[in-house]
């Protein structure tokens, strides 16, 4: 990983959020066609359990979408990995990426963990405020905007990829 995360004890995890559990998720992703080791390492390293409600933390490393409130979900890890892997398709080396729909902030954190300059737009203010706190806690410098996202964030473009 090229971005620096300040991992605190909760980020490391125990029990159902431990490194062993994360490694099992990585094996499931590999078994389901995710091959980019950079992406797999980012998924292994970014503490997904910090992006869900504490009551769901024990399910954070299942390959499933989970509710995050406001009728939204944190995407299934395979979907996050596949979308991220697509940015690097055909040897592409993106530097600047726009994410539409910040949600919990997990996808943006994965992108930032890969060293990308991330700009993310979210229409639900409470979700964005919570995601921004997570970014700060983990030490990610992710630019975020509270807006609808239908037109993206043109004043910061062009982007090398959009998720």
Q: Splitting the chain (163 residues) into consecutive groups of 10 residues, what average pLDDT does each group show?
A: 52 69 96 98 97 95 97 98 97 97 98 98 98 97 96 96 97
| pLDDT in the model for residue 18 | 82
Q: Tell me the backbone φ, ψ of residue 155, rounded to 5 degrees.
A: -65, -15
φ/ψ (deg, to 5) at 75: -65, 155
Do residues 22 and 62 touch, judged by C-beta distance below 8 A?
A: no
pLDDT of the residue at 19: 86
pTM: 0.91
Q: What is the pLDDT of residue 156?
A: 96
- Residue 31: the pLDDT is 98
Q: Which residues contact 42 (CB under 8 A, 6 or more apart)?
A: 1, 84, 110, 113, 114
157's CB contacts (< 8 A; 6+ apart) are: 98
75 is catalytic: yes
| Residue 7 pLDDT | 55
Listed residue (145, 135, 86, 90) closest to 113, CA to CA: 135
**Do 63 and 25 touch, CB atoms closer than 8 A?**
yes
**Secondary structure (3-state) at 149:** coil
Which of 18, 75, 104, 144 is catalytic? The answer is 75
With the C-alpha atoms ordered 11, 16, 22, 26, is the resulting torsion angle positive or negative?
negative
Where are any strands of DSSP class E within 3-158? 66-69, 72-74, 96-100, 117-122, 143-146
């Amino acid at each position: 990983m090229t971005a620096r995360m300040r991992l605190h004890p909760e980020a490391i995890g125990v029990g159902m959020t431990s490194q062993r559990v994360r490694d099992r998720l990585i094996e499931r992703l590999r078994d389901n066609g995710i091959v980019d080791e950079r992406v797999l390492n980012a998924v292994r390293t970014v503490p997904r359990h910090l992006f869900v409600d504490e009551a769901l933390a024990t399910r954070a490393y299942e390959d499933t979408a989970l509710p995050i409130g406001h009728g939204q979900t944190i995407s299934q890890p395979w979907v996050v990995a596949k979308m991220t892997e697509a940015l690097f398709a055909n040897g592409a080396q993106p530097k600047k990426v726009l994410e539409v729909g910040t949600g919990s902030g997990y996808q943006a954190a994965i992108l930032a963990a890969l060293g990308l300059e991330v700009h993310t737009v979210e229409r639900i203010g409470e979700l964005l405020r919570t995601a921004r706190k997570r970014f700060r806690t983990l030490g990610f410098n992710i630019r975020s905007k509270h807006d609808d996202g239908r037109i993206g964030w043109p004043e910061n473009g062009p982007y090398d990829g959009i998720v």
